[in-house]
Structure formats: structure tokens, C-alpha cells
Structure 1
Amino acid sequence: MTAVGDPGPFASHLGFRVVRADAEGAVVEATPGPDHVNGGGILHGGYLNALLDSATGWAVHATGAGVVAPHVQLSTQFVRAGAPGRPLVCVATCISAGGRIAMTEGEITQDGRVIARATGTHAVIARG
């Protein structure tokens, strides 16, 4: 896998690293810290959603240069609790991209086990 550019200010603030974004999809990694947990001590769902949002967005970006791809909808299934201090790997793919809407899937693993998965739709907006 080859490294890609800056994931953007918000994703950088959360510690997300874009490892790969190409025709195959995107891989975004993160190592959550103690600030990313909820009151129960497990990873906050908002942090996991932000990771899925970033990775699926990168998968859409990789389908064409100059495309902005904000989410229209994201449906997340939280499979098991995640823990801080251990790396997360989010793999995302763009299932289809039309002139206005793109469909995506993403999955987060930690220690080789699925933590969360999502399907989503993104608006496809040409920069210009």
C-alpha cells in the first residue's frame, strides 16, 4: 500500500491516516486514544462513524479527480466494542458512482476483528 496525502484538518485532528486511496477503494488507519472513548470506556460511536465517513469519502474521491463527496446518508452497524490504544483499520469501497450519487461500503477492524461496518451514499460534486 502506498501512502496518500493529507486526510484533511478534521480527520488529522482525530489521528486518521490515509494509507491508500485508489481504484480498489481506500484504507484509513487510526490509533484511538483515551479521549476517544465514551463514559463506559469503549470507543465512542461518533469516532467510529467519523472514521467510516472519512474512509468511504476517500473511496469516492479515488474514482475521479476533483470530486467532493459529502455524505447524504450513512448507516452504521456497531458489531463489538472497540478499545483505545490499539490500531483500527478501515477498508472502504465505492460500489457505484453516478453523476450525482455514489454508493459505498466500509468496515473497521481492530486486532483482526470487525468493530463496525457501514453502507452509505455520497453526493458527487465536481470541484470547479
Structure 2
Amino acid sequence: MSNEFEQISLTQGFMKHNGGVLFRNISETEYEFKSTINENHLNAAGITHGGYLSALIDAGAGTAAHRSAGNAPCVTISLDIKFIGASKVGDEVIGHTKILKKTNTLIFLFCELKCNNKIITSATGVWKILKVKPSNLGPGG
């Protein structure tokens, strides 16, 4: 299991458009991800927009759910987010995700974002593991 960060925003989409997300596996139940705050991530108050932090958690924790489900596709059922602190342009925001419980169809997790070693956001979430039929995979699937 590699402990190096890798870019997970490889295809066109929301997170790639917004600067991408770097991700790494720590163990079978712990994962980290990070992103650097850019001007386009700010709100009118000059701090990182809560919507961006929410999207970052959804992408990072969602990737953790995906990896912990043996790379099966997963979708967010619920995401409860608490905004505790702030970040600004140039800050590196690091997310840490812990898988709390995994069933055959659901993954329960906890995630927190840190900036300058302080927690700025915490979240709990539930992801659904999709059971994809081989005929739904498409070409090369």
C-alpha cells in the first residue's frame, strides 16, 4: 500500500476544475487527502467558502469509502458537516478520514479537515456501496 499522495482528479469534472485533490491510503480504515486554497475557493469574506470545503470532504471521504469498499462505486447518502475554523488563499487543507463501520451495502465514516494543524471542519457521513452488474460497466469495464 503506497503512502504517497496521488492526484485523484484525473477526469474533467467539478474537483479537477477546482484545482484537484491529492489522496493517499494510510491503512485499510484511514485515508488522507489535501488541496491548496486558491482565489476561486473564497467567499465574500475572503476565507474559504463552505461549499468548497463541503465538496472537498465529499470528494476525499467519498474516495476513502470507494477504496475501503474494494474500489466499488459509492455514492453519498448523508454528510453532516460542522464548520469550526477558517482557511485562506495559499493554505494547504489536509483531510483525514476514518472508516467507522462497513457493512455489505453501507460505509460509515468520520472526517476532519485541518489547516495549519488546527481543525477547521469535521464531518460524519454515510456512503452506499453500489453493486454494479457487469453489463452496466460499459466498454473496457
TM-score normalised to structure 2 length: 0.81
2:102 is matched with which residue: 97, 111, 124? 97
The answer as to whether partners of 1:78 and 1:117 remain within 8 angstroms in 2 is: yes
Helix, strand or coil at the partner of 1:16: coil
1:12 is the counterpart of 2:12: no
The residue correspondences of 1:80-95 to structure 2 (distance < 5 A) are 80-95=85-100
Give the counterpart letter for 1:27 in structure 2: E
Counterparts in 2 of 1:3 and 1:81: CA distance versus 1, 3 Å: closer
The residue correspondences of 1:8-47 to structure 2 (distance < 5 A) are 8=11, 9-21=13-25, 22-47=27-52
Task: Tell me how many residue pairs correspond in the alignment.
Answer: 128
Higher RCO, Cα 8 Å, sep 6+: 1
Cα RMSD between the aligned structures? 1.7
Unaligned segments of structure 2, at least 5 residues:
134-141
The match for 1:67 is: 72
Moved more, 99-108 or 22-31: 22-31
The answer as to whether partners of 1:66 and 1:126 remain within 8 angstroms in 2 is: no
1:78 is the counterpart of 2:80: no
The match for 2:111 is: 106
1:116 is matched with which residue: 107, 114, 121? 121
The answer as to whether partners of 1:25 and 1:62 remain within 8 angstroms in 2 is: no
Helix, strand or coil at the partner of 2:98: strand
Counterparts in 2 of 1:25 and 1:11: CA distance versus 1, 3 Å: farther
Identity over the aligned pairs, expressed in percent?
Answer: 23
Aligned-partner Cα distance in 2 for 1:2–1:95: 23
The answer as to whether partners of 1:25 and 1:58 remain within 8 angstroms in 2 is: no
Helix, strand or coil at the partner of 2:37: coil
Show structure 1 runs of 4+ deviating over 6 A: none
